[in-house]
């Protein structure tokens, strides 16, 4: 996936009307190759208010999704071999850009399409991971116990229990029961024999075969379970159709290398950055219009005044309507005007 030349088709998940990307590699690829940043909006459960720490998933604007899908269409038309590939159903081999996946439908289909062997595979993977986790946890708690004993010895609180030999049936040599009884002494002296037995039984449970004691794991995207892909999701036909004026302006500026992001923060449709937003301030606050759409002068004044106040220019742009049938290149058909305060008056 890291190799750009063989970059396979990106899956854009359509969830509740939003277009989301869950794969970090896809996000890096989009940013590097397509100068699309999108908006991260996943919160941490511990810090939901701190939205500078937002993480996966990444939400794309409608225009971005549309552009990626359109790119793939044009690539497909160019190469017949790819078409054949695509018909054969091996979408992943298509060196295209993105395809939209209807998230809920593809989940349901994937579950339905699960064969018995798939099911067994997944189950065994899951079991393995759970066992691994259980053993790791146990080892860690043993270490903690030992450390606690060491601490107690060092601080002089350690006292050998005189009745230890008689209480423990296995004897002094058994490390586990030693640990059990000592931790008993330190942490829960009042509990006596019951607590000791319980701890001893815990330490003897080293075999992963005891499924009843297994810990349950919620699969994460990064775990082996998450990566075990089921079936190729089918392409959904939910291609976004943003308003044409917006999309044409977006496409034009995007083709010039601008990084476009949503414009809510500056009261416009897009904010255009001349390079990666991590390195550059934005230059333009973009408002798209239809060719004959009337714009109040007050909007122009407001945009110009706000833009100049934040060292940007306010831009109005739109697709030029052709009066004659003259053949102009597509890119030249978008007209842009940049407005700044004149510095007086």
Partner 1 sequence: MTTAETSDLLNLRSVVLSNLQHQHYWTDIKLLDTQLDIDENTQNDPLPRPMIYGRPPEQLYNPEPASSTNEGSSSERPPADKEYVLPVHLTEKLSLRTWASVFDNLPTPPEGGKEGGEGGDANRKRIVVAVVSGDSTVVYYIMHDGIVKPRQN
Question: By the criterion CB under 8 A, which residues form the site for partner 1?
Answer: 256, 274, 281, 283-284, 289-298, 300-301, 304, 307-308, 311-313, 315-318, 320-321, 335-345
Residue count of the chain: 345
For partner 1, the closer CB: 147 or 310: 310
Smallest gap from Cβ 324 to partner 1, in A, equals 14
Smallest gap from Cβ 147 to partner 1, in A, equals 57
For partner 1, the closer CB: 209 or 292: 292
Contacts of 268 (CB under 8 A, 6+ apart): 285, 286, 287, 303, 314
Report yes or no: 199 and 183 within 8 Å, Cβ to Cβ: yes
How far apart are alpha carbons 58 and 25 in whole angstroms?
12
Q: Quick count: other Cβ atoms within 10 Å of Cβ 214?
A: 15
Helices (H), 51-102: 62-78, 80-88
Q: Quick count: other Cβ atoms within 10 Å of Cβ 250?
A: 26
For partner 1, the closer CB: 106 or 288: 288
How far apart are alpha carbons 224 and 233 in whole angstroms?
19
Q: Residue 324 is encoded by which pair of tokens?
A: 């004659």
Give me the catalytic one of 11, 273, 283, 287: 273
Smallest gap from Cβ 321 to partner 1, in A, equals 7
Annotation marks residue 95 as catalytic: no
Annotation marks residue 107 as catalytic: no
Annotation marks residue 273 as catalytic: yes
Report yes or no: 233 and 101 within 8 Å, Cβ to Cβ: yes
Smallest gap from Cβ 345 to partner 1, in A, equals 4
For partner 1, the closer CB: 123 or 295: 295
For partner 1, the closer CB: 53 or 280: 280
Q: What single DSSP character describes residue 232?
A: P
Give me the catalytic one of 157, 228, 281, 320: 281
For partner 1, the closer CB: 30 or 334: 334
Buried b (16+ CB within 10 A) or exposed e, 60-71: bbbbbbbbbbee
Smallest gap from Cβ 298 to partner 1, in A, equals 6
How far apart are alpha carbons 158 and 154 in whole angstroms?
8
How far apart are alpha carbons 189 and 172 in whole angstroms?
19
Smallest gap from Cβ 37 to partner 1, in A, equals 19
Which residues belong to the active site?
Answer: 273, 281, 312
């Amino acid at each position: 996936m890291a190799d750009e030349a063989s970059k396979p088709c990106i899956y854009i998940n359509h969830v509740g009307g939003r277009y989301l990307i869950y794969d970090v590699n896809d996000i890096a690829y989009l940013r590097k190759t397509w100068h699309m940043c999108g908006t991260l909006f996943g919160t941490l459960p511990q810090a939901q208010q701190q939205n500078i720490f937002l993480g996966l998933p990444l939400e794309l604007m409608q225009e971005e999704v549309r552009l990626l899908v359109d790119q793939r269409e044009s690539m497909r038309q160019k190469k017949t071999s790819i078409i054949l590939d695509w018909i054969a159903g091996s979408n992943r081999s298509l060196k295209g850009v993105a395809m939209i996946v209807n998230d809920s439908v593809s989940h349901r289909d994937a579950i339905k399409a699960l064969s018995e062997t798939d099911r067994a595979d997944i189950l065994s993977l899951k079991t393995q991971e759970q066992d691994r986790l259980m053993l790791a946890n146990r080892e860690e708690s043993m270490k903690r116990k030992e450390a606690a004993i060491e601490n107690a010895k060092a601080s002089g609180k350690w006292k050998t229990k005189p009745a230890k030999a008689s209480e423990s049936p296995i004897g002094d040599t058994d490390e586990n029961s030693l640990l059990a009884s000592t931790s008993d002494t330190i942490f829960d002296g009042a509990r006596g024999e019951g607590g000791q037995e319980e701890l001893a039984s815990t330490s003897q449970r080293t075999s992963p075969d005891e499924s009843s004691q297994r810990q349950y794991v919620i699969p994460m995207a990064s775990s082996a379970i998450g990566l075990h892909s089921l079936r190729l999701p089918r392409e959904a036909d939910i291609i976004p159709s943003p308003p044409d004026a917006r999309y044409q302006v977006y496409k034009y500026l995007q083709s010039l290398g601008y990084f476009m992001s949503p414009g809510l923060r500056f009261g416009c449709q897009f904010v255009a950055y001349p390079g990666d937003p991590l390195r550059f301030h934005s230059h333009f606050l973009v408002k798209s219009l239809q060719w004959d759409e009337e714009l109040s002068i007050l909007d122009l004044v407001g945009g110009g005044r706000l833009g100049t106040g934040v060292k940007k220019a306010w831009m109005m742009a739109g697709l030029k309507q052709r009066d004659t049938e003259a053949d102009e290149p597509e890119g030249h058909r978008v007209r842009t005007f940049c407005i700044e305060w004149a510095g007086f008056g």
